[in-house]
Amino acid sequence: MASDDQIITQQPKSDQSPPSNLPLKEIPGDYGLPILGPIKDRYDYNYFEGHDEFIKSRMEKYQSTVFRMNMLPGQFMVSNPKVVVLLDAVSFPVLFDLSKVEKKDVLDGTFVPSLAFTGGYRTCAYLDPSEPKHNKLKRLFISLLASCHDRFIPESQNCLNDLFKNIESNISEKGEAYFNTLSDDMAFDFVLRLFFNTNPTDTKIGKDGPNIISKWLFLQLHPLITLGLPKMMSCVEDFFLHTFPLPSFFVKSDYQKIYDVIYASSACASLLDQAEELGIGRDEAAHNLVFLAGFNAFGGMKALFPALMKWVGLGGEKLHKDLVDEIRTVVKSEGGVTFGAIEKMTLTKSVVYEALRIEPPVPYQYAKAKEDLVIQSHDASFQVKKGEMLFGYQPFATKDPKVFENPEEFIGTRFVGEEGEKLLKYVFWSNERETVSPTESNKQCPAKDLVVLLSRVMVIEFFLRYDSFTIQIKKLPLGSGVTVKSLTKATT
């Protein structure tokens, strides 16, 4: 965390392109004994070392940012837990190079959830762009997002207004407000209102939407999750979460509620008409829209918004004052929160990018080598065989010390100015570089620009209302837990 008087502009380092004559080295690391090796690694990764320390210790042991290891969930849920790990800003982007890698069924790495969670269909997120349906579904998503443009700011302001009122009410009644739960409520409402012109509380979903989707996400992702229980409970947790897939029937009826509400919405009807014109059946398209709304959008926001609140809160009063000065000055001169006004708030933009850099909402990226290829790090080249799984651990790649100065610190001004903006190509949160835009033929998050914009609006609307705030944080199985302890209302 940067102290109040250490908020400085990042000075970019020299060009990080590796020289062409790097030595070709054998990829270090091993997978241990069959069956036992992956199980041991799973216990070390989840319970005895922790994710970051497990990976860091092997990086230090092998003196390399590229090495071999087993990845979750391991035995007995997958046939092959072996991965090649990529931890630096040079090797990581090969995961986006679709001429070299394949993205078929790698969203969750070595594990693929049952299709029963998605109506029996492989949704777009699991498709490689070479598969015919991928580009059609991605086109549908991009069309949906474009149709929301004019409603984006007013819908986000309405939902954020409710969020801040609920935070204030909780602090008044309880002395504190657990941000994550309130943020989940806001995010679910926002997604259904923006995408489908639907207020979930006016439907059979009621107020249950966030819990339904959270349960649906957990049942799909449990092989990759640890609950943070005491170590003495590790064997019990490991048996129930990491040795066999939990069935979809636990959430089948609740998922059907979400599906029915989205399918029946007026906005969805026109999208399903478009899907049919593209050759995608209405039922398949609807399940893809549920996945887009529930997994991609809500799931991402569930991790992102608490992380954003965490890092802005930890930034301290100096950062808060600078944000207040920028936001209120620009809003006053522009006559409100407009797209033009948002673009002029350079510190606000930088703060959002810095949060995405230091705690990306999705820490893992995967791909399979399409052919034998050579991957480069900063100081070596490595031969990867066709079919090998590549695993990029983003929190290390976006804290590469050869790219970012003081990489472990949250520096709100890191991306301010021309030199700071040059560093955006090393921010990879959206399954691509931040400087790249989503297209039908790439695997970048289709809502990448919307996510960045919504995060900016959240910061803007917050500091239009408050001068500062304090928080308490804790680590969760996925992301951070944030409790707002105090709010200082705006004095100007």
Residue 177 and residue 483 in contact, taking contact as beta carbons nearer than 8 Å = yes
Q: Assess whether pLDDT exceeds 60 at residue 7.
A: no
DSSP string, 39-89: HHHHHIIIIIS-HHHHHHHHHHHHT-SEEEEE-TT-TTT-S--EEEEE-ST
Would you report the helix, strand and coil content of the chain in percent, each value rounded to 5? 55, 10, 35
Residue 226 and residue 237 in contact, taking contact as beta carbons nearer than 8 Å = yes
The C-alpha atoms of residue 170 and residue 176 are separated, in whole angstroms, by 6
For 393, which DSSP code? E
| Better-predicted residue by pLDDT, 254 or 74 | 254
Q: Is 2 inside a domain boundary?
A: no
Which amino acid, one-letter code, is at 137?
A: L
Task: State the average pLDDT for the chain.
Answer: 94
Q: Is 19 inside a domain boundary?
A: no
The C-alpha atoms of residue 292 and residue 86 are separated, in whole angstroms, by 27
Q: Is 11 inside a domain boundary?
A: no
Q: Tell me the torsion sign for CA atoms 209, 295, 457, 338.
A: negative
Distance of CA 451 to the CA centre of its chain: 10
The C-alpha atoms of residue 6 and residue 321 are separated, in whole angstroms, by 14
Count of domains for the chain = 1
The C-alpha atoms of residue 123 and residue 162 are separated, in whole angstroms, by 32
Q: Residue 4's pLDDT is what? A: 40
pLDDT digits (tens, 9 = 90+) for 465-477: 999 999 999 988 8
pLDDT digits (tens, 9 = 90+) for 181-233: 999 999 999 999 999 999 999 999 999 999 999 999 999 999 999 998 888 89
Strands 177-178, 364-369: pairing kind: unpaired
Strands 364-369, 381-384: pairing kind: unpaired
pLDDT digits (tens, 9 = 90+) for 407-424: 999 999 999 999 999 999
Category of 477 on φ-ψ map: left (φ > 0), alpha (ψ -120 to 50) or beta: alpha
Burial (CB count <10 Å: 0-12, 13-18, 19+), residue 232: exposed
pLDDT grade for 12, boundaries at 50, 70 and 90? low
Q: Assess whether pLDDT exceeds 50 at residue 1.
A: no
Find the mean pLDDT for residues 31-59.
94
Strands (E), 255-409: 364-369, 373-376, 381-384, 389-393
Q: Assess whether pLDDT exceeds 70 at residue 14.
A: no
From residue 294, give the alpha-carbon distance in Å to each of 82, 100, 104, 247, 334: 29, 30, 20, 18, 35
Strands 466-475, 101-102: pairing kind: unpaired
**CA nearest to 126, candidates 140, 111, 146, 142:** 111
Find the mean pLDDT for residues 253-264.
97
How many CA atoms lie within 13 Å of 243's alpha carbon, on the beta-carbon side?
A: 10
**CA nearest to 424, candidates 367, 346, 477:** 346
CATH of the domain at 449: 1.10.630.10
Maximum distance among all Cα pairs of the chain, rounded to whole angstroms: 66
Q: Tell me what percent of the residues of the chain surpass a pLDDT of 70.
A: 96
Q: Residue 20's pLDDT is what? A: 67
The C-alpha atoms of residue 228 and residue 226 are separated, in whole angstroms, by 6
Q: Is 16 inside a domain boundary?
A: no
Q: Which domain holds residue 102?
A: 24-489
Q: Residue 9's pLDDT is what? A: 45
**CA nearest to 419, candidates 6, 93, 8:** 8
pLDDT grade for 74, boundaries at 50, 70 and 90? confident
The C-alpha atoms of residue 411 and residue 427 are separated, in whole angstroms, by 14
Residue 202 three-state SS: helix
Q: Is 12 inside a domain boundary?
A: no
Residue 362 and residue 303 in contact, taking contact as beta carbons nearer than 8 Å = yes
The C-alpha atoms of residue 421 and residue 247 are separated, in whole angstroms, by 46
The C-alpha atoms of residue 11 and residue 440 are separated, in whole angstroms, by 35
| Count of residues making up the chain | 492
Q: Is 218 inside a domain boundary?
A: yes
Burial (CB count <10 Å: 0-12, 13-18, 19+), residue 98: middle
Q: Is 8 inside a domain boundary?
A: no
Q: Is 1 inside a domain boundary?
A: no
Distance of CA 67 to the CA centre of its chain: 24
Burial (CB count <10 Å: 0-12, 13-18, 19+), residue 140: buried
Which amino acid, one-letter code, is at 279?
A: G
